[in-house]
Amino acid sequence: MAPPMSASAFLRALKAEGLTVVEVGDWRDHNRNHKGPWGPVNGVMIHHTVTKGSKATVDICRKGYSGLPGPLCHGVITKDGRVHLVGYGRANHAGLGDDDVLRAVIAEKKTFPPDNEANTDGNRHFYGFECENLGDGKDPWPAAQLEAIEKAAAAVCRYHGWNEQSVIGHLEWQPGKVDPRGFTMASMRKRIRDRLK
């Protein structure tokens, strides 16, 4: 449990991890803080977008869509491995998830319980990265993009002193979600663990 880092610290942490970062508009002040709390933060959540094309993907994650206003995450990781900052603060990415999972993330347990309840506000507790992918199980995940996911999650963990068990997929949080699809969170957590060594 921790207060969220500042927008400047977030930017610094991502760059220090070796990422190419694109700052989009007034990302530091674009958030949903008027709708609810942001923090304490407990982890990082990884998503796929079900979109095609970097520009369209960044646009929709910044603005959102009818019924779900943006920002839809903090950073958008496009297929080329760049991280586009579209918002900072409370963002519409995690939705309601399982309190048992949150407790396991806080404890950095080696395994997570099944996400069978939607009773806990995830937008309050998780940093979110949306990753450009169609999510159909066929759209490839380029090496540069997977490396950027690893680095972005590690950057946040490093700042807060968390380990790889503080990084979950949306599918591990909210009943019915399937993202990210095309790589396993176990494999991504192993990469993050190795990077944090």
Scanning 15-23, 106-114, 132-140, 175-183 for contacts with Zn ion by CB under 5 A, the matching segment is 175-183
Instruction: Determine the 3-state secondary structure of 168 from DSSP.
Output: strand
170 belongs to the binding site for Zn ion (CB under 5 A)? yes
Unique residue bearing structure tokens 């080329």? 80
Burial class (CB in 10 A: 0-12, 13-18, 19+), 63: middle
Shortest Cβ distance from residue 187 to Zn ion (Å)?
Answer: 18
Closer to Zn ion by CB, 16 or 186: give it. Answer: 186
CB atoms within 10 A of CB 181: 19
CB atoms within 10 A of CB 99: 14
* Chosen residue from 179, 183, 188, 192 binding Zn ion by CB under 5 A: 179
Shortest Cβ distance from residue 66 to Zn ion (Å)?
Answer: 18
Q: Which residues in the 28-67 window bind Zn ion by CB under 5 A?
A: 47
Distance from C-alpha of 157 to C-alpha of 161, rounded to nearest angstrom: 6
Shortest Cβ distance from residue 163 to Zn ion (Å)?
Answer: 22
Q: Which residues bind Zn ion (CB under 5 A)?
A: 47, 170, 179
